[in-house]
Structure 1
Amino acid sequence: MEVVVLSADPQAGILTSQGRHAEIETVLVLLDELEMQVPPALQKEIQNLSKHLRLALSPILLFARKLDEVQQLASAQLGPQAVHLLAWAWQRRAVLGLTTTDLVKSVEPAWQVVAQTLFSAWDLTVRASSAVESWHSIVRPHLAVHRTLSAGILALLAVWHNHRIAPRGPHVGLSPLQRTDSLHQNSDWLVALGYSAQAA
């Protein structure tokens, strides 16, 4: 899920959260139509995908709704086409080899204050799906084999995660348990499950 989505027409600027919502609604309509045309063996898969999208529709765009105000203000100040151009450049900043600061300096001086506000808002945006995607990457191999997750497997995953030492980032060297309980010394999840230290 992109932080910012360009309109097909540059003169229309970028999509608002309402526009993005409408696009997902269109996808859902197409999925409903597709369900009627696929073989029966695939219909359940289409139904599940459609169900998950409908359940996620509101929370998945929460970050986009929070951006609407700053984006609409920028469009009012610079015009939709200018915001479209700024969004295009921001999306490609890594390819262009530019930092956000470089990007601000590269635009018209009259745009720089608004551009800085926009870029900062986009840079600081946290998408709700990122944590979900991380967990999905962990359980995907199991799902590929077993097609389901039992309560026992989920509990085992929770034990493993809570004892896992962060290899980098702001919590490097600490597990979730250690961050919440300074007295917790054991970092081996197998020991926590009752196995001996040697077996672990």
Structure 2
Amino acid sequence: MDSKLSIFLDSISNEVTTFIKSIDEEAINKACELILESEKKNGRVHVTGIGKPGHVSGYVSSLLSSTGTPAYTLHGTEAVHGSSGQVVEGDVVIAISNSGETQELKATVETLKGNGAKIIGVSGNADSWLSHASDVFLFAGVKNEGGCLNKAPRASIIAETIVLQALSISLQYAKDLDLSQYYKWHPGGSLGKSIREGR
């Protein structure tokens, strides 16, 4: 294997392993409870982020929706240009930002809080603006992104994804999701076929 690639993969492996050990189960449970309480009052879940975390938000909203927690992607910048209208009082917004200081996301979160939404913040900076503005904070931090520049989001994106996958697992267990329910939301593709055929 090329030495540069090997160094990158080793770095990513180390960062992810270290991060997983740091995941705060209590914070995950608090985020789960916040969502469950919102749903009891017909509240909805929205997921947003700026830049690369914005792509994570699309995946996470889809994952949650397919595992028993309907969720909607909210464009991080369009929110302050009218899209925040999809968020109403009592809803929960999962806001993702590696730095937790992104100006565009600040404006979005402030707008959503003004609408009465509860915020689950996800950031690699435990002392960030987002962490302090959130009702529940999920840490998703790494020290090295895995590249020689240590700038382009790589390991941080994996950390954000893992902590929100952990939240999806917590919600899935809380709702006692079974295969027949999962099939209702995922009848297509190889996954749907495997359930139909009992594999």
Which interval holds the TM-score relative to the shorter structure? under 0.3
Structure number having the greater helix percentage: 1
TM-score (norm 2): 0.20
TM-score (norm 1): 0.20
Look at both structures and tell me which one has the larger radius of gyration over its CA atoms: 1
